[in-house]
Amino acid sequence: MSEANRSPRLNGVSVFAFVGQAGTGKSQRAQLVALEHGVDFLIDDGLLIRKGQIVRGKSAKTEKNQIKAIRRALFEYQNHRKSVVEFLEASQPCSVMLIGTSSGMISRILKNLGLPDPVRIIHIEDVSSNEEISRARKERFIKGQHVIPVSHIQVRKHFAGKLVGRLKVLFDNSDSMEGEKTIVRPPFKFFGDVTIDPAVVEQMARFIAERTCQVASVISAQTKPSNGGVVVQVGIKCTPGPRTILSLGENLRERISRAVSGITGLDVHRVDISVVEVEMK
């Protein structure tokens, strides 16, 4: 990178580059490599990431076609670029690792963001075996999946309406997000049909209801298909408390509908809450 393209605003940023062809598992390895080198931030696919948290940027995987996705990943959109540069400027001194498919891509990102030359370039072959790279390629090109080094909850905020993996996050009480990965299917690389077992939705409804004040227990939970969407039916035993039964039911209905549609992408037509029994203490 030439001195003319380097921004004096970011002289306090140390840059590492992590390079490997598409689908070789760079994003799967990114956090471990960053941790090994004491890197503060990752830049991957248009996102600025810190310890599994998206702090700035917009993912290229949210774009509707591959041309826009490439431009997004290279930070060619002014507002997108400005947001990331201003955050890095305020975070100096710091270090950042750029993840790219080639040295050319790394150079383009360096130029667009005004970052200095890398202090070190790490290749995927330096940290992964041939077998691991082959397995990663299979995940990408056969299953059409892409891994980004951020937590599931963070991805939901930035991939509204798109199906993501790791539904079990709903049942995980751990606060640790470091090292967590999330699988996404970008809209321009979506192959085949996606099905969700009704038992998953029923477990989600039970999970939410059982952790709601004034719900003593869940008697039943059922899911029925309805015109391309689902109807969720939950029967509960409740206890007296500050909320009326009507208010309790409305609250449950809203939370279950929001959770199911938000996490699975299903169209929730209706959530029916039935109070089967009232437990008097």
pLDDT of residue 176: 42
- Is it the case that residue 23 has pLDDT exceeding 60? yes
pLDDT of residue 142: 58
pLDDT of residue 219: 94
Residues 85-103 as b/e (b if ≥16 CB within 10 A, e otherwise) read bebbbebeebbbbbbbbee
Sheet holding 215-226, edge to edge: 215-226, 229-238, 268-278
Q: Mind listing the pLDDT tens digit for each residue in 170-189?
A: 334 444 444 445 545 555 45
Distances (CA, A) of 114 to 53, 57, 91: 23, 16, 15
pLDDT of residue 151: 53
Q: What percent of the chain has pLDDT over 70?
A: 76
Residues whose CB is less than 8 angstroms from the CB of residue 116 and which lie 6 or more positions away in sequence, other chains included: 1, 6, 10, 11, 13, 14, 15, 110
Domains observed in the chain: 3-189 (no CATH), 198-278 (3.30.70.1350)
pTM: 0.53
Distances (CA, A) of 79 to 60, 246, 263: 14, 46, 29
Residue 154, token pair as written in the block? 């963070």
In 3D space, the residue among 181, 179, 159 whose CA is nearest the CA of residue 62 turns out to be 159
pLDDT of residue 9: 82
Are 18 and 125 contacting, i.e. CB atoms less than 8 angstroms apart? no
Confidence at 168, pLDDT banded by 50, 70, 90: very low
Amino acid (1-letter code) at residue 26: K
pLDDT of residue 7: 61
Q: Mind listing the pLDDT tens digit for each residue in 64-105?
A: 777 888 899 999 999 999 999 999 999 999 999 999 989 999
Confidence at 169, pLDDT banded by 50, 70, 90: very low
Residue 16, token pair as written in the block? 């590492």
- Is it the case that residue 258 has pLDDT exceeding 80? yes
Amino acid (1-letter code) at residue 213: C
Q: Compute and round to an integer the Cα radius of gyration of the chain.
A: 23
Residue 244, token pair as written in the block? 């009326």
pLDDT of residue 265: 66
Are 151 and 180 contacting, i.e. CB atoms less than 8 angstroms apart? yes
pLDDT of residue 35: 85
Are 109 and 45 contacting, i.e. CB atoms less than 8 angstroms apart? no
Q: Mind listing the pLDDT tens digit for each residue in 103-151?
A: 999 999 999 999 999 999 999 898 888 888 887 777 666 555 555 555 5
